[in-house]
Chains A and B, each alone.
Chain A
Amino acid sequence: MKVRVFVSLKNGVLDPQGRAIHHAIEGLGIHGVQDVRAGKMIELEVDASVTDAQLEEMASKLLTNTVIENYRIERVQP
């Protein structure tokens, strides 16, 4: 089974990469983009035996730094 963990910066945490991407988008001549926040998505292929609690543990102890980041776990239905 496929699991996706979406990692994003917490609100209020400055995102210099997002800001640079925003500038680059404006450089494309496209206007109307209000804000850009960059995050990452980590995709895992897991056995059915892996529990939600284990996914939470992976996400909170390793995949994110909870001082600055939030995560959302999504089990992808086959």
Chain B
Amino acid sequence: MSFRSAVITFPGSNCDRDMADALEKVSGTAPHRVWHGDASLPDGLDFIALPGGFSYGDYLRSGAMAARSPIMQAVIAAANRGVPVLGVCNGFQVLTEAGLLPGALMRNAGIRFVCREVKLKVENAQSLFTAGYSAGQEIVIPVAHHDGNYFADAETLDRLEGEGRVAFRYAEPVNGSARDIAGVLNAAGNVLGMMPHPERVIEPAQGGTDGRALFESAVRGLVSA
């Protein structure tokens, strides 16, 4: 059984090729490439990825315009049907702007763009995306963002923590994120948004492989399901 995935490209996306490459290398099947202006997704998708970048030049707010682009109506409908959706970096921003994940991503507390490898702690190792890790495991994944400072009100943060929806936390200061949150899941567990870039560390030539287990978890979980 082959793994049917799609990578959405918005004007200004710049990690879409890396994302497609990671999905192809891990699953063995090249993903469909879908343009923001498309009205529908290919049928029978197992996985949808929203890549990093600077969609629409970050106009208005990071991810705000992309969240309202035509293809996102189809992505929201698919997510609500239970199709797994991964949003990385700008993709995470798009997911919060689209209302698929709670909270918002604000300007980094230190003002500066942060582009480096960071240590993450795996908080939830039971989700579709994180089952290949162990709870509490420390992994190294690069970040590259200006607006990665996760914000949500205290009640929302308590709920996310109580329901095991914090997938990853930063194990070091990075951007001022509330409770060091680096990645969050939706209530159903089929949508993950994260600022760090797992697609950039899937094979040794990239300088690390700690992101590979995320894609392997998803592919294994879905193909065996």
Contact = CB atoms under 8 A, between A and B. Distances in A.
B68 A68 contact: no
A16 interface: yes
B109 A14 contact: yes
A13 B104 CA distance: 11
Contacts of B111: 16-17, 20
A16 B102 CA distance: 21
A62 B64 CA distance: 7
A65 interface: yes
Given A62-B64, A65-B104, A67-B104, A16 B110 contact: yes
A16 B104 contact: no
B168 to A, nearest CB: 20
Nearest to B61: A65
Contacts of A13: 106, 151
B25 interface: no
A62 B106 contact: no
Contacts, number: 35
A68 B97 CA distance: 11
B119 to A, nearest CB: 23
Contacts of B103: 67
Interface string B142-171: 000000010110000000000000000000
Q: Tell me which of A13, A14, A16, A20 has the highest count of chain B C-beta atoms within 10 A of its own C-beta.
A: A16
Contacts of A17: 107, 111
A65 B109 contact: no
B73 interface: no
Nearest to A13: B151
A14 B97 contact: no
A39 B179 CA distance: 25
Interface of A: 13-14, 16-17, 20, 62-63, 65, 67-68
Interface of B: 60-61, 64, 68, 96-97, 102-104, 106-111, 149, 151-152, 176
For the complex of A and B, 6 pairs with smallest distance between CB atoms: A67-B104, A68-B104, A16-B107, A16-B111, A20-B111, A16-B109
Given A16-B111, A62-B60, A68-B106, 13 more contacts: A14-B106, A14-B109, A14-B149, A14-B176, A16-B107, A16-B108, A16-B109, A16-B149, A65-B61, A65-B64, A65-B97, A68-B104, A68-B151
